[in-house]
Amino acid sequence: MGGGTTVGGICVNGPMANLYTKDGRPLTRRGDDLFSKSGAHVGRVSGDRVHAPDGRYAGTIVDDRVIYRSTDSAMVSSPFAQAAGAGSASAQAPSSAAWGDEPDFPD
């Protein structure tokens, strides 16, 4: 199995990892692709940054959270075609006290 960084017992950057938004909405990571609970392709991961399909900055991965940080928002990547994803049955997690805002992802 591919390795990944484990934070608090959760693999946050492996081929499949469960992440959450700042407010605790569940996200599923498959490879470099990030999906909302409904299965919408909300972003692609590059290092600790997430970019939306149009290439704009969407968030920064901090532990098991994706948090929008205005200081990182000037970063842009190439647009990409959205992939199909299945919904997730993951439960919502408690909100995080980490600095930043809730990313603008659909549910």
What's the pLDDT score for residue 9?
A: 45
Q: How far is CA 77 from CA 7, 50, 73, in A?
A: 26, 9, 11
Q: Which domains does the chain have, with CATH numbers?
A: 7-72 (2.40.220)
pLDDT above 60 for 26: yes
Place of tokens 């392709």: 41
| Adjacent-strand bridge partners of 57 | 51
For the ranges 7-11, 85-89, 96-100, the lowest mean pLDDT is seen at 7-11
Separate counts of helices (H) and strands (E) for the chain: 0, 9
Condensed to tens digits (0 to 9), the pLDDT of residues 84-94 reads: 565 555 666 66
For the ranges 19-23, 37-41, 69-73, 103-107, the lowest mean pLDDT is seen at 103-107
Q: Between residues 7 and 30, which one has the greater pLDDT?
A: 30
pLDDT above 50 for 24: yes
Pick from 63, 37, 36, 35: nearest CA to 48:
63
Average pLDDT of 66-95? 70
What span, in angstroms and rounded, lies between the C-alpha atoms of 57 and 82?
15
